[in-house]
């Protein structure tokens, strides 16, 4: 063995280091591995370059070592050059980029045609321009490719509009920076031949519904300038690529799904942390296991990526691994973090170091799930199930990008969804990826984009834009004074342009900047999106960047600034949040006098009243702090389950037991619902409380259920005059995105699967894998929280015939 950068480097002899690590993990930790799969490598399927390929382009390809095409690349060429909208769905690192670059470059060389590339992130845009430039230089093609995003200097924007053959941007910039100013882009739109939409699978849910409307507006503007571009889309594996592509562009597409690229041997291990308290069913943390596996991989000389579920967990894992491999500050860093919120320059630096092979281990959120070229990786560790099968395979695909053997390890947390997957590996291994769903005609989203489209070009009677009655929407906007009608034409009348106030990704506008004021400095070190600010930038919070720590001294909510100072502490902070719901309208419901199940509209208030201080490594709570921030409110749709007070009194000797039962049932129902809806858990929110918003329930520091009000703090459940608790599962987006309705339609399955999850759990009284953090045993309480949750679920199944709202 030898020393390398302060850490022991394991000598694997002449054996392949990935296979050596797999054998070592299986030997030492056999009891933790619940699933073990080996996907054999496959050879390439090659076809000759197309006969009609421009000689300059063929020369550029040969200069880069490409003398033949993979079969899917040739198939894409044939479809796209024939003028068919096309979606390419092949694994990571299978050469999807060439599927659209070839026809685009061919058209630019032979017809001076223009192309627009859309990527979901700036990092991907930068990566793509670098790839185009390499091909451009290899053949001296003279093609001009420019990025156009928020970082593009003002004096360069005119050159991009007038001289760019290929403009690389993102949907947000197209929405706010291009379409409202289309007259400046007239020359570009007149010659627009291709629109490329990469990483199509990321356009789902609310974001995808917005993007579909942006594409509607783009096609409308193109039609005005006499062009009708061909759309080329690419995606990671999802169950319905053609359906999603057609939903995004509004036209039939040709789907290419068989990859001709070679692949190396891939090993996959499903890993369940060991039980450390059998009585309570508590397991070792996923972070301890992920850290252990990553340490072994890096010491074996393997380039490693660790995916975490949150930005906070990225920083915690980065600290743990830096403590091992970067203890000597005089030596180059071997471990790096990558997540949203870092400044663009920081992210570019990390990407460059990864491509150059100067980083041995990167810890990332889903920001690196997409296809940024980060060089050759050998091992991928998932700290928790990402929430969908599609996202899991996408992340695992980041390792083994150079046809070498690779290893992926899915480490389960104690969340029910993780435990279900890890205990039933056949479900994960045999199920197809999820469907990606969008609803472009969701009324709130659609109305926003009708306003934007009306600003860009007047609407005329008979115009088509959506499936809804467009004339009704235009009349509504006319009545509200933003449109003026002359004969059969509607014109925009407001001074401001509406795209400025419509965000494709979030409800509220305005990111927060994090300002380092240590020693009198005023350096911006990060930015945080509005929706995350309340959870991460409260006064007293520990904010981390590359595992270095700052403390938030002051938060200027109005000015969107957080002022921080450098600090050294042995803990990190985690916010506590409460949610209260009020029922506004029942769309449909079932009721029999004992129970009620319903689907309708609710008003949600979310408050973050305090935070916990959590010590590194031991993860014990060492203190609390108060947070004083504005409440966050929204209207959305929900499905909910209620039990009549007299029924609760019959089944539970006191309200505390009923409260614990409802919290445990809600926890299991939430995770089961995510699986049934084929959505990510964070797309669905859960709450327990009173439908009139008098009180809500949460788990206290003692592991017991508490009743609280937003105004008066903790309440005594025995003294509450209206104790009618309900479990709410709601769409975690303003206006809803259609998740609550199918949960109501499948309400018996939600309850049945939740009860099965709890019953099948090996714990005695309830644990994080079934009913959540309600951990006190029946000896301490006098009852079993697990049994209480099952009792509540049994009552939910006793509903009667449907009653119209």
pLDDT in tens, 233-279: 998 777 789 999 999 999 999 999 999 999 889 999 999 999 887 76
| Other Cβ atoms closer than 10 A to 259 | 22
d(C-alpha 509, C-alpha 512), whole Å: 10
Task: Give the mean model confidence (pLDDT) for residues 732-750.
Answer: 84
Please check whether residues 88 and 163 belong to one and the same domain.
yes
* Domain-located, residue 599: yes
* Domain-located, residue 396: yes
Please check whether residues 165 and 275 belong to one and the same domain.
no
Please check whether residues 678 and 536 belong to one and the same domain.
no
Q: Which residues of 174-213 are buried (b: 16+ CB within 10 A; e: fewer)?
A: bbbbbbbebeebeebbebbbbbbbbbbbbbbbbbbbbbbb
Q: Given this model, what pLDDT does residue 3 score?
A: 33
Work out the angle at residue 38's Cα, subtended by the Cα atoms of residues 31 and 266, and round it to the nearest 5 degrees. 115
d(C-alpha 332, C-alpha 505), whole Å: 37
Q: Given this model, what pLDDT does residue 577 score?
A: 81
Overall pTM > 0.85: no
Q: Given this model, what pLDDT does residue 50 score?
A: 95
Band of pLDDT at residue 800, cut at 50, 70 and 90: very low
CATH number, domain of 183, equals 3.40.50.300
Please check whether residues 592 and 473 belong to one and the same domain.
no
d(C-alpha 768, C-alpha 755), whole Å: 15
* Domain-located, residue 436: no
Task: Give the mean model confidence (pLDDT) for residues 180-201.
Answer: 95
Q: Is the pLDDT of residue 319 over 50?
A: yes
Q: Given this model, what pLDDT does residue 10 score?
A: 59
Q: Given this model, what pLDDT does residue 804 score?
A: 39
* Domain-located, residue 437: no
- The last residue of a domain, from among 230, 256, 282: 256
Task: Give the mean model confidence (pLDDT) for residues 284-294.
Answer: 94
Task: Print the domain residue range for 533.
Answer: 512-569
Position with higher pLDDT, 782 vs 52: 52
Work out the angle at residue 539's Cα, subtended by the Cα atoms of residues 512 and 701, and round it to the nearest 5 degrees. 120
Please check whether residues 654 and 588 belong to one and the same domain.
yes
Position with higher pLDDT, 21 vs 630: 21
d(C-alpha 605, C-alpha 601), whole Å: 14
* Number of domains the chain is built from: 5
C-alpha distances (whole Å) from 404 to each of 90, 265, 269, 380, 535 are 18, 7, 17, 13, 41
Please check whether residues 177 and 79 belong to one and the same domain.
yes
Q: Is the pLDDT of residue 66 over 70?
A: yes
* Domain-located, residue 761: yes
Task: Give the mean model confidence (pLDDT) for residues 135-151.
Answer: 87
Q: Given this model, what pLDDT does residue 801 score?
A: 40
- The last residue of a domain, from among 385, 402, 430: 430
Please check whether residues 711 and 692 belong to one and the same domain.
yes
Q: Is the pLDDT of residue 692 over 70?
A: yes
* Domain-located, residue 12: yes
* Domain-located, residue 195: yes
Instruction: Look at 214-218, 229-233, 762-766 and tell me which has the smallest mean pLDDT.
Output: 762-766
Please check whether residues 293 and 416 belong to one and the same domain.
yes
Q: Is the pLDDT of residue 306 over 80?
A: yes
Which residue carries 């308290």 as its tokens? Answer: 277
Q: Given this model, what pLDDT does residue 95 score?
A: 86
What tens digit of pLDDT does each residue of 396-421 get?
Answer: 888 886 678 999 999 998 877 788 78
Percentage of the chain beyond pLDDT 90 is 46
* Domain-located, residue 435: no
CATH number, domain of 466, equals 1.10.10
Q: Given this model, what pLDDT does residue 434 score?
A: 67
Band of pLDDT at residue 507, cut at 50, 70 and 90: very low
Please check whether residues 197 and 307 belong to one and the same domain.
no
Which two three-digit tokens encode residue 44?
A: 């390439």
- Residue 574: phi and psi, rounded to 5, are -140, 125
Taking all residues of the chain, what is their mean pLDDT, rounded to a whole number?
86
Work out the angle at residue 161's Cα, subtended by the Cα atoms of residues 159 and 167, and round it to the nearest 5 degrees. 105
Please check whether residues 346 and 370 belong to one and the same domain.
yes
Please check whether residues 617 and 765 belong to one and the same domain.
yes
Which residue carries 């105004």 as its tokens? Answer: 711
Q: Given this model, what pLDDT does residue 153 score?
A: 83
Please check whether residues 490 and 547 belong to one and the same domain.
no
Which residue carries 């252990």 as its tokens? Answer: 292
Q: Given this model, what pLDDT does residue 781 score?
A: 57
In the three-class reduction of DSSP (H, G, I as helix; E, B as strand; rest coil), residue 46 is classed as strand
Q: Which residues pair with 151 in a beta bridge?
A: none
Q: Is the pLDDT of residue 720 over 70?
A: no
Which residue carries 């006064």 as its tokens? Answer: 539
Q: Is the pLDDT of residue 6 over 50?
A: no
d(C-alpha 182, C-alpha 499), whole Å: 13
Band of pLDDT at residue 508, cut at 50, 70 and 90: very low
């Amino acid at each position: 063995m030898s020393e390398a950068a302060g850490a022991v480097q394991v000598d694997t002899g002449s054996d392949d280091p990935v296979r050596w690590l797999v054998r070592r993990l299986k030997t030492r930790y056999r009891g933790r591995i619940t699933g073990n799969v080996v996907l054999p490598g496959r050879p390439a399927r090659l076809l000759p370059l197309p006969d009609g390929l421009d000689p300059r382009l063929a020369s550029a390809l040969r200069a880069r070592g490409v003398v033949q095409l993979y079969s899917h690349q040739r198939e894409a060429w044939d479809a796209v050059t024939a003028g068919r909208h096309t979606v390419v769905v092949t694994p990571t690192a299978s050469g999807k980029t060439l599927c659209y670059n070839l026809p685009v470059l061919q058209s630019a060389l032979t017809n001076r045609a223009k192309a627009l590339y859309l990527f979901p992130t700036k990092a991907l845009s930068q990566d793509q321009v670098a790839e185009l430039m390499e091909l451009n230089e290899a053949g001296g093609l003279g093609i001009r490719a420019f990025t156009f995003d928020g970082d593009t200097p003002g004096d360069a924007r005119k050159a991009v509009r007038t001289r760019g053959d290929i403009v690389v941007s993102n949907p947000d910039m197209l929405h706010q920076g291009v379409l409202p100013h289309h007259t400046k882009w007239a020359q570009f739109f007149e010659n627009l031949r291709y629109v490329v939409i990469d990483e199509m699978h990321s356009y789902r849910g609310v974001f995808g519904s917005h993007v579909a409307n942006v594409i509607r507006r783009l096609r409308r503007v193109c039609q005005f300038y006499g062009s009708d571009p061909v759309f080329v889309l690419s995606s990671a594996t999802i169950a319905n690529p053609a359906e999603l592509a057609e939903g995004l562009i509004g036209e039939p597409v040709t789907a290419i799904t068989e990859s001709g690229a070679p692949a190396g041997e891939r090993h996959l291990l499903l890993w369940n942390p060991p039980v450390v308290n059998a009585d309570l069913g508590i397991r070792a943390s996923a972070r301890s296991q992920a850290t252990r596996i990553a340490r072994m991989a890096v010491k074996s000389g393997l380039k490693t990526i660790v995916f975490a579920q949150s930005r906070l967990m990225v920083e915690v894992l980065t600290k743990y691994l830096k403590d091992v491999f970067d203890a000597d500050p005089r030596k180059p860093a071997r471990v790096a973090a990558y997540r949203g919120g870092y400044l663009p320059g920081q992210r570019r630096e990390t990407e460059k170091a990864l491509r150059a092979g100067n980083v041995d281990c990167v810890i990332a959120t889903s920001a690196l799930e997409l296809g940024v070229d980060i060089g050759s990786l050998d091992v991928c560790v998932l700290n928790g199930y990402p929430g969908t099968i599609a996202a899991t395979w996408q992340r695992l695909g980041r390792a083994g990008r150079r046809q070498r053997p690779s290893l992926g390890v899915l480490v389960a947390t104690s969340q029910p969804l993780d435990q279900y997957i890890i205990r039933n590996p056949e479900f994960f291994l045999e199920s197809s990826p999820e469907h990606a769903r969008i609803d472009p005609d969701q009324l709130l989203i659609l109305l926003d984009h009708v306003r934007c489209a009306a600003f860009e070009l007047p609407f005329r009677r008979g115009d088509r834009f959506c499936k809804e009655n467009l004339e009704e929407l235009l009349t509504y906007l006319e009545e509200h004074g933003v449109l003026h009608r002359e004969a059969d034409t509607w014109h925009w009348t407001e001074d401001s342009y509406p795209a400025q106030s419509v965000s494709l990704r979030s409800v509220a506008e305005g990111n927060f900047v994090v300002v380092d004021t240590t020693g009198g400095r005023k350096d911006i070190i990060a930015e945080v999106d509005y929706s995350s600010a309340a959870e991460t930038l409260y006064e007293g919070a520990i904010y981390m960047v590359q595992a270095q720590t700052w403390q938030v001294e002051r938060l200027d909510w109005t000015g969107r600034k957080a002022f921080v100072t450098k600090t050294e502490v042995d803990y990190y902070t985690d916010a506590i949040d409460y949610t209260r719901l009020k029922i506004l309208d029942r769309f449909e419901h079932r009721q029999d006098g004992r129970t009620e199940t319903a689907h309708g509209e609710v008003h949600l208030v979310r408050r973050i009243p305090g935070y916990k201080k959590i010590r590194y490594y031991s993860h014990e709570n060492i203190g609390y702090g108060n947070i004083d921030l504005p409440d966050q409110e929204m209207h959305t749709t929900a499905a909910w389950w209620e039990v009549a007070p007299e029924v609760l009194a019959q089944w539970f000797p006191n309200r505390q037991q009923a409260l614990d039962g409802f919290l445990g049932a809600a926890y299991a129902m939430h995770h089961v619902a995510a699986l049934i809806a084929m959505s990510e858990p964070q797309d669905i929110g859960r709450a327990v409380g009173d439908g009139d918003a008098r009180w809500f329930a949460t788990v206290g520091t003692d592991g017991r259920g508490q009743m609280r009000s937003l105004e008066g703090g903790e309440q005594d459940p025995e003294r509450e005059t209206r104790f009618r608790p309900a479990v709410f599962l709601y769409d975690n987006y303003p206006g809803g995105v259609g998740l609550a309705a199918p949960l109501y339609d499948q309400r018996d399955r939600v309850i049945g699967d939740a009860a099965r999850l709890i019953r099948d759990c090996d714990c005695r009284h309830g644990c994080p894998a079934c009913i959540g953090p309600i951990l006190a045993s029946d000896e301490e309480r006098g009852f079993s929280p697990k049994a209480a949750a099952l009792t509540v679920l049994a009552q939910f199944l006793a509903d009667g015939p449907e009653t119209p709202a």
